[in-house]
Structure 1
Amino acid sequence: MEQTVVDGVPVYWAEGPAPMTATLAFGVGTRDESFRTIGVTHLIEHLAMSALPRVHYEHNASVELETTQFFATGKPAQLVEFLDVVCRALADLPLDRVEKEAGVLAAEGSQVTHPTAAALLARRFGTSGYGLAPWAGPGYDRIPAEAVAAHARRYFTKGNAVLTLTGPPPEGLRLALPDGERPARVAQEPLPADGPRWSAENVPCPGLSLTGPSASAPWNIAMLVLQERLTTTARREKGISYDVGGERADVSPETTERLIWLDAREGREAEVAEILWNTAQRLADDGPDQEEVDHELAAFAELIDDPRLVVARLDLRARAELLGGPYYTDEDWLVELKAVTPEQVAAVMAEGLRTALLVVPEGVALDLSDRDGAPVAVGGCARVIGPEPDGRVLRPPLAARVLNGAARRVRLILGTDGVTLRDDDGDLHTIRFADVVGVEVQDGARTVFGRHGCVIPVDPDLFRGAEAAVAALDAAVDPALRYRTSDLVSRDE
């Protein structure tokens, strides 16, 4: 792999199969947004790509959890054109197209990661950073133009970019990006956890999240063996699942969140979830067989001989540069993997299970135990069971309470520093005014989104006297966090 610099941007290149591919990557993704600006990175990507003329060569762009990429495959002169147009557009965004591109994005309906992985990240981190993955936020049409411009100025700069090429830099290559430094980031702290948790979420299938060290060969082997065992049991032996997927979130140079999920035949979600949990626990208890470790080592050795892997290697090099983590060559990884023992795999899996998160589709109930035999508690947002806090208690209208038993159990409590909802299960959901990340405005009502994932409706139609809670909320919360319901969302949703 060769390295050079073009217009202040690091460039890495290696010979790969023709035609040439160019990837301009930036160290910015969903994790760098706020609840109020969810989707701003994707909006900027669309604005930049809208500046391209009609072309015949392959080109696209993507936004992920940590990075944004613009890529094209074609003749060297075509790549020079592509990169020049994209860089100039990022330096001077066509903000007059915001409304149109917001509509295009709403139609696209893409997600930054698999819905099950997104839900796991939200339960781990709340409604900030990586935890924003499953949330729609205010909507693309509710992101202020100044926020779009500010986000571009901060993240889409020479100092936060890396270009990779599957061949030497072509003649005439320019990268006319604005000057700027790579933003300093602090590793995101997860929400407090005192053990493993499971929760029912709006997800299509069960999934598991495990925290562990980055660049860990034992962890890599552990996840590969887990994936193979799940495929063997759930698909080949029981015939109740088809696919096992995985994702990782590099929370810091030292810590990575590893996510794994598997689909389930309708009605068998609980069984699949139990297979996932129990298979992970057995791997922690007994470790893999040496044959399983050797199998994964042999698979990696074969993989690195594939000449088509050059783009993947370049992507890893760019990520290491942008995210501040170490870069391992194929030879480095071979050395690390050859040293892995079954005992090391068992140890990392056991450590990850101490704070593991498991999610299942809504309506699925589980009865799980941890490795010590203790019940695995139900997780979710920051709900508690206990006495109501002090404050003004607001109940649903009398007619609703007469006709609906659930309404008789529900109440909204307006306190001096926040609002609390007692739901029909008796759980308490509290959002302190200081922890509000967004307030959706619908005429005289408000929907409040909290830092730990709770959502509370403050609506006079649902609670008698809620006008006082609306007034208190508006007075206590930064007006910049308020927004009207997106025009891109159907009122029937």
Structure 2
Amino acid sequence: MQRELIDGVPVLWTETPGPLEATLVFGCGVRDETFRTLGVTHLVEHLAMSTLPRLHFDHNASVDLSLTQFTCTGRPEQVTDFLERVCRALSALPLDRIEREAGVLEAEGSGVADPTTAELLSIRYGTEGVGLASFGGPGPDRIPVEAVQDTVARYFHAQNAALVLTGPPPAGLRLPLPTGERPARGAGQPVRQAGPGWQQVQVPGPGLAVSCDLNDQALFLAFQLLRQRLTETVRHREGLTYDVGGDVVFVAPGRGERTICMEAREGQEQRVAELLWQEAVRLATEEVSEAELAEEVEGAREVLLDPRAAEYELLEAAAEQVLDDAPMRGRDRLERIEALTPARLREAFAAALGSALLVVPCEVEIRPRWTDGTELPQSSCGVGGELPSGGQEFRPPMKDRLRYSGARKVRLVVTGEGIWMRQPDGSVHAIPFAEVVGVEMQGPGRVVYGAGNCFLPVLPDLFAGIGPAVAAIDAAVPAGLRYPASAFRSAD
């Protein structure tokens, strides 16, 4: 790997066969947004790409949780022109195109993580940072122009960028980006639910997440083995799923989440969830065989020694550059993997499982047991069964209370500190005003979103006489967090 500096941007390159490929990487993604500005990084990317003329070579751009990337493949002069155009566009975005590109974003409708991984992250971290992965936010047509300008100034500059090339930098390559202050990355983010526990949520199938050291090669291999065991059991033996997927999510330097995600044949979600947890507990309590370990080591060796891994290592190094991370290089990883023992594999996975979050679709009932036989606790965003005293109380309309027994149990209470709601099942949910991340204004009603992965609808269809409740919300929540419902989306 070679390193150079062009216009203040680190350039990482190595010689590989084929045409020249370039990836301009910025340390900015959804995790750097807020609920109120959700989608702003993707909008910045679209605005920059909208300035390009028609190009007759491969080029693209993408945004994930942590990174924004602009990529192209072509002749050296084509790559040079593409990179310079992108950098100049980021220095002077066409803000007059915001309305049109917002419509394109809504039509695109892409997510930044597997939907099951996204829900797991939101449970762990709430409605901020990587936890924003499962939310749609106010809508791209509600992103303030000031948020676009602020995001570009804070993140899209030379001190927060790196360029990856599969060959030497072309003669005359320029990267005319503005200068800026490098974002701090070391703090990570607060955890809302440390685990272990399980929860019913809107997911296509069961999923599992653990918080861990992302450089722990024993845990990397353990997850590879868990996926293989689940593939053999759930797909090949019982025919209940097509694929056993998973993600690795960066949260802070060296730290993050490893997940397993599984879709299930209709009606078989409970069985798939039980098998997922069963295999996880088995891996944490029983040592793997020498033959299983040898098979996984050989698989890792094939991947890490493949010449095509060079480009992947370049991209890892670029991410390290902009995120202050320090992932191990391929041969260092392989040395540690080859030194692993069955006991070390089990110990690493057992320790990580202490942070386990297990999710299942809403209609699925399971009773997962911990490694010692006790039941894994079920969690939700509820706070208990008691409403505060002394606040303003609101009930569903009389017609609903007469027709539905559940409506007679529902209450909305507003105090000077926040809002509480008791659901028909008796659970109580609360959002303190200090933790409000957004308020959607739906005519005379409001939908209040909290930092704890919870939202409460304060709407006239649900509660009678909500005028005082709406007035209290508007008085307590800063105007910058309130926004009209997106014109792109149904009020439902």
Return the TM-score normalized by structure 2: 0.97
1:127-172 Cα shifts (integer Å, max 9, x gaps): 0001000100101110110110111110011000000000000111
Runs of 4+ residues deviating >3 angstroms: none
Measure the CA separation in 2 of the matches of 1:427 and 1:177. 52
In 2, Cα distance between equivalents of 1:340 and 1:256? 22
Distance (whole Å) between structure 2 residues aligned to residue 378 and residue 316 of structure 1: 37
Establish whether residue 428 from structure 1 lines up as the match of residue 434 from structure 2.
Answer: no
SS in 2 for 1:180: coil
For 1:270, give the aligned amino acid: Q
Q: Show CA shifts across 1:458-493 (max 9, x none).
A: 1233212311111011001111000000011134x4
Task: List aligned pairs for 1:22-171, cutoff 5 A.
Answer: 22-171=22-171
Report the CA distance between 1:284 and its aligned residue: 0.4
State the partner residue of 2:482. 482
Aligned match of 1:387: 386
1:468 aligns with 2:464: no
The residue aligned with 1:16 is: 16
8 A Cα contact 2:206 2:269, kept in partner: yes
Q: Separation in 1 of the partners of 2:370 and 2:83? A: 52
Question: In 2, Cα distance between the equivalents of 1:466 and 1:364?
Answer: 35
What displacement does 1:203 show?
1.2
Map 1:114-263 → 2, pairs under 5 A:
114-185=114-185, 186-193=187-194, 195-263=195-263
Contact residue 200 and residue 363 of structure 1 kept, 8 A: yes
Question: Once the 2 structures are TM-superposed, how far is the Cα of residue 328 of structure 1 from its aligned partner?
Answer: 2.2
How many Å apart are 1:197 and its aligned residue? 1.4
Q: Which moved more, 1:133-142 or 1:243-252?
A: 243-252
Counterpart residue number, 1:308: 308
- What one-letter code is carried by the residue in structure 1 that aligns with 2:306? D
Quote the Cα distance in structure 2 between the aligned partners of 1:149 and 1:422.
41
What is the CA distance between 1:16 and its match in structure 2?
A: 1.3
- Structure 1: distance between partners of 2:485 and 2:378: 32
Distance 1:447 1:414 in 2: 14
Following superposition, the deviation at residue 272 of structure 1 comes to 0.5
Aligned to 2:336: 336
Provide the rounded CA distance (Å) in 1 between the counterparts of 2:322 and 2:286.
37
For 2:236 and 2:155, locate their aligned partners in 1 and report how far apart those are by CA, in whole Å: 46
Please, which runs of 5 or more residues in structure 2 have no aligned partner? Answer: none
Count of residues in Structure 1 that have an aligned counterpart in Structure 2:
490
Paired amino acid for 1:188? Q
- Give, in whole Å, the separation in 2 of the partners of 1:352 and 1:380: 22
Q: How big is each residue's C-alpha offset from its partner over 1:75-132, in whole Å with a ceiling of 9 and x where there is no partner?
A: 1111001101111111111111111110001000100011000000000000000100
Q: CA deviation at 1:192?
A: 4.1
**Deviates further, 363-372 or 128-137:** 363-372
- 2:408 corresponds in structure 1 to 408
* Contact kept? 2:254, 2:327, Cα under 8 Å: no
Is the CA contact 1:17–1:308 (under 8 Å) kept in the aligned structure 2? no
- Give how far 1:307 is off: 2.7
Q: Which moved more, 1:197-206 or 1:276-285?
A: 197-206
Distance 1:157 1:478, change over 3 A: same
Stretches of structure 1 that go unaligned for 5 or more consecutive residues are: none
Cα distance in 2 between the residues matched to 1:36 and 1:453: 14
CA contact (8 A) 1:247 1:258 kept: yes
Q: Deviations over 1:206-254 (max 9, x none)?
A: 1100111121111111110011011010011111111011111121123
Between the aligned partners of 1:48 and 1:108, the Cα distance in structure 2 is 16
- Counterparts of 2:327 and 2:86, CA distance in 1: 27
TM-score, normalisation: structure 1 = 0.97
Identity, % of aligned positions: 49
Question: What's the offset of the Cα at 1:375?
Answer: 1.4
Contact 1:212 1:348 in 2 (8 A): no
User: What residue in structure 1 maps to residue 357 of structure 2?
Assistant: 357
Partner AA of 2:118 in structure 1: A
Which stretch of structure 1 is more off in the superposition, 366-375 or 103-112?
A: 366-375
For residues 287 and 318 of structure 2, what CA distance do their matches in structure 1 show?
A: 33
The one-letter code matched in structure 1 to 2:96 is D
Per-residue CA deviation, residues 276-327 of structure 1 (Å, 9 max, x unaligned), is: 1110110000132222222122112222333322321111111111211214
Q: RMSD of the TM alignment (CA)?
A: 1.2
**Kept after mapping to 1: 8 A contact 2:305/2:330:** no
Rate the CA distance shift 1:357–1:406 in 2: closer, same or farther, 3 A.
Answer: same
What is the CA deviation profile of residues 6-38 of structure 1, one whole-angstrom value per residue up to 9, with x for unaligned ones? 100000001112111100001111100000000
User: Does the Cα contact within 8 Å between 2:123 and 2:193 map onto a contact in 1?
Assistant: no
CA 397–321 in structure 1, closer or farther in 2 if over 3 Å, else same: same
In 1, Cα distance between equivalents of 2:384 and 2:373: 24
Per-residue CA distance 1:23-66 (angstroms, 9 max, x = gap): 00011111000000000001101111111110110011111111
Separation (CA, whole Å) in 2 of partners of 1:461 and 1:231: 47
Aligned to 1:291: 291
Aligned residue identity for 2:386: P
Aligned-partner SS, 1:131 = helix
- Within 2, Cα distance between the matches of 1:436 and 1:370? 34
For the 8 Å contact 2:304–2:334, the answer to whether it is kept is: no
Deviates more, 1:325-334 or 1:404-413: 325-334
Q: Is the CA contact (8 Å cut-off) linking 1:459 and 1:467 kept in structure 2?
A: no
Q: Secondary structure at the match of 1:81?
A: helix
SS at match of 1:314: helix
Q: 1:257–1:327: structure 2 CA closer, same or farther, 3 Å change rule?
A: closer
Alpha-carbon separation, structure 2, partners of 1:81 and 1:466: 58
CA distance in 2, matches of 1:165, 1:456: 48
Q: What does the per-residue CA deviation read over 1:437-467, in whole Å, with 9 as the maximum and x for residues that have no partner?
A: 0000011100000110111111233212311
Does the residue aligned with 2:251 lie in a helix, a strand or coil? coil
Distance 2:465 2:344 in 1: 59
**Is this contact kept in 2: 1:158–1:181, CA < 8 A?**
no
What is the one-letter code of the residue matched to 1:233? T
Residue pair 2:395, 2:410 contacting (<8 A) in 1 also: yes
* Conservation of the 8 A alpha-carbon contact between 1:247 and 1:259: yes
